[in-house]
Amino acid sequence: MRVFFDTEFTALSSDPRLISIGMVAENGSQFYIELTDGWSEENCSAWVLEHVVPLLGKGDKCTRAEAGKRIFSWLSFAEYPPTLLSDSDWDTTLLAELMDECSIPRERYHLEVIEYKTKIQAKAFEEARLCHFQSLNLIQHYALHDARVFHAAWVSVFGADASHADGMAGSENGPG
């Protein structure tokens, strides 16, 4: 089973800190948490302070130590092992670091970053994402909304089963 995810973090820098994680599974199940430690507003770029921080406060809060375990517990409904699919190396790296930190074995899940076979495919996917943000009346840069839109765009471009998209996402197990 694919699980589409997005993260929000402090800055596009050499030391980004995870702020929140949103996940949406192919079956529609959703998960969202905000981290209470490991970051502070002082670590945030001006852009993150303006666009991400004001959106916080809408979900469960937990420490980094709890976060990986809660994600793994939530994923127990999924076919083993679930594929966690992101549209960003940043997101994939940050989630891999969190899961490693929480001692979640890498063989219990797969991390992948979407890779487009053509520029036309990438453009179609981005257009679908923008359309879904508008049609679903969702807010960009709120991790759960971003994950919902990622899932909806995937279905729009590749179909519900997305079997013809297999092989499109490049396997990535994060850093290390």
Look at residues 112, 119, 91 and name the one whose alpha carbon lies nearest to residue 20. 91
Q: What domains are defined for the chain? A: 2-171 (3.30.420.10)
How many residues in the chain? 176
Q: Per residue in 32-88, pLDDT tens?
A: 999 999 999 999 999 999 999 999 999 999 999 999 999 999 998 887 799 999 999
Q: Which residues contact 33 (CB under 8 A, 6 or more apart)?
A: 20, 21, 59, 60, 61, 62, 67, 70, 71
Q: Within 10 Å of residue 153's Cβ, how many Cβ atoms?
A: 23
What pTM was computed for the model? 0.89
Contact 67, 95 (CB under 8 A): no
**Predicted confidence band of residue 89 (pLDDT cuts 50, 70, 90):** very high
Q: Which residues contact 61 (CB under 8 A, 6 or more apart)?
A: 33, 34, 35, 36
Residue 31, pLDDT score: 97
Which two tokens mark 130? Answer: 């923008």
End-to-end Cα separation, the chain, in angstroms: 24
